[in-house]
């Protein structure tokens, strides 16, 4: 699942730290960088350049340029969206500090632990196994007495 962080309405891929067990013993065993799922999503949306990276690495727009917010700010008597945000309690210094903290945060991904498949009893009318039929398991059902 892609992870993003916002800087005033402009979304950037979060940092990712992943251990790749299938590459163990190589220099690519640990990945540190932009979230790979987010970069793949951006590549699908904007295309890729000659090096294979997305042409755009962000999306969205600064909230101070949002036409709907600008219109609403003017309706309420403010000169622009930033004045409305400041009147609503927005603190740009705190917002920048929070973005820097979230952008530096590394999302860690560990591969899920493998578990055996659950055996689910089949539904409907049972004519063959007298309640011993299972769906989803491997092997044969227990022998009937």
5: tokens are 């962080």
Residue 89, in any domain of the structure: no
106: tokens are 């590394």
Q: How far apart are CA 61 and CA 58, in angstroms?
A: 9
Residue 33, in any domain of the structure: yes
Residue 67, in any domain of the structure: no
Task: Using pLDDT thresholds of 50, 70 and 90, give the confidence band for residue 22.
Answer: confident
Full residue range of the structural domain in which residue 56 is found: 4-61+94-109
Residue 74, in any domain of the structure: no
Global pTM?
0.59
Residue 123, in any domain of the structure: no
Please state, for a pLDDT cut of 90, what percent of the chain lies above it. Answer: 25
Is residue 119 scored above 80 in pLDDT? Answer: no
Chain segment 37-67, per-residue pLDDT in tens: 889 999 999 999 888 889 888 898 998 899 9
Residue 126, in any domain of the structure: no
Per the structure, the count of domains in the chain is: 1
Is residue 30 scored above 80 in pLDDT? Answer: yes
What's the DSSP call for residue 23?
A: G
Residue 16, in any domain of the structure: yes
Task: Using pLDDT thresholds of 50, 70 and 90, give the confidence band for residue 138.
Answer: low
Q: Are 69 and 82 in contact (CB under 8 A)?
A: no
137: tokens are 């398991």
Residue 82, in any domain of the structure: no
Q: Are 134 and 121 in contact (CB under 8 A)?
A: yes
Instruction: Answer with the residue of higher pLDDT: 13 or 27.
Output: 13
């Amino acid at each position: 699942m892609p992870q993003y962080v916002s800087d005033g309405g402009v979304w950037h891929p979060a940092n990712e730290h992943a251990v790749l067990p299938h590459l163990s013993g190589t220099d690519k065993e640990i990945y540190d960088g932009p979230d790979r799922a987010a970069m793949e999503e951006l590549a699908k949306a904007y295309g890729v350049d000659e090096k294979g990276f997305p042409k755009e690495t962000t999306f969205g727009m600064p909230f101070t340029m949002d036409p709907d917010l600008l219109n609403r700010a003017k309706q309420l008597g403010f000169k622009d969206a930033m004045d409305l945000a400041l009147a609503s309690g927005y603190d740009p210094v705190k917002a920048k500090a929070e973005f820097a903290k979230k952008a530096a945060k590394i999302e860690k991904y560990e591969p899920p632990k493998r578990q055996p498949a659950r055996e689910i009893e089949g539904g409907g009318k049972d004519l063959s196994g007298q309640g011993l039929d299972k769906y989803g398991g491997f092997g044969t059902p227990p022998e009937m007495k």
